Each structure stands twice: as structure tokens, then as C-alpha cells.
């Protein structure tokens, strides 16, 4: 991949690892929400990063879901109160987690 084609999104490498891990799993709540999130994040963002959205879409199809049904199921899941486990989300700074009040 040429330097100009390399993904510039900070989360790209982490998100690629998530998709690689999901490829070996059966459909579950985490996988559904991860794929839908990555499609929204990377769709139409350029050739290199859009490939990640296509990979997420392919994973949904491997689970037998089309885009519309996947997003509908994801919305129902979130509406039911589902939230991913905190240890599974690698975003933001944890520097203030143990700060004294």
C-alpha cells in the first residue's frame, strides 16, 4: 500500500483487529454493534478506510444479515439498554479514573 493510501484514522488499526477477531465468531451483540459502528465510521471516507466499512458489511452478510436488518437489530439492542462492557471499549483517556474526589 502506498503511503498516500494508508489509513489516517487513529482507530483504524484497532478497528481492523476487531474485525479480524469477529471473523472467527458467531453473531453476538458485540459483533453486531461493532460492525454497524465501523460501517458508520468508515463508510465513504476514502479508499483505504472505506475498505474497513466493506469488510464490516461482508461480516454482517456472513452472519446472514443485510445492512437494513443489521442496523434495525442494532437500534433495538441499544433501545433495550445494551451497552458494551467497559473493558471492551478502548476509547478516551483513563488517566482520571482513579482520581480522588
11-42 residue pLDDT tens: 788 899 999 999 989 999 999 999 999 999 99
C-alpha cell at 14: 484497532
Asked whether residue 93 is assigned to any structural domain, the reply reads no
Residue corresponding to grid cell 433495538: 76
Number of domains in the chain: 1
Contact indicator for 38, 15 with CB cutoff of 8 Å: yes
Asked whether residue 51 is assigned to any structural domain, the reply reads yes
Q: Is the pLDDT of residue 81 over 60?
A: yes
Q: Is the pLDDT of residue 74 over 60?
A: yes
Query: If pLDDT is split at 50, 70 and 90, which confidence band does 44 have?
Result: confident
- Residue 39 belongs to what domain range? 12-81
What is the per-residue pLDDT for 4? 44
Asked whether residue 89 is assigned to any structural domain, the reply reads no
Amino acid at each position: 500500500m502506498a503511503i498516500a493510501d494508508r489509513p489516517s484514522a487513529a482507530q483504524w488499526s484497532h478497528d481492523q483487529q476487531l474485525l479480524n477477531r469477529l471473523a472467527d465468531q458467531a453473531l453476538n451483540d458485540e459483533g453486531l454493534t461493532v460492525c454497524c459502528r465501523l460501517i458508520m465510521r468508515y463508510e465513504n471516507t476514502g479508499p483505504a478506510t472505506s475498505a474497513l466499512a466493506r469488510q464490516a458489511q461482508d461480516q454482517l452478510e456472513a452472519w446472514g444479515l443485510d445492512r437494513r436488518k443489521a442496523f434495525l437489530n442494532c437500534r433495538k439492542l441499544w433501545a433495550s439498554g445494551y451497552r458494551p462492557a467497559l473493558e471492551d471499549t478502548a476509547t478516551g483517556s483513563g488517566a482520571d479514573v482513579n482520581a480522588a474526589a
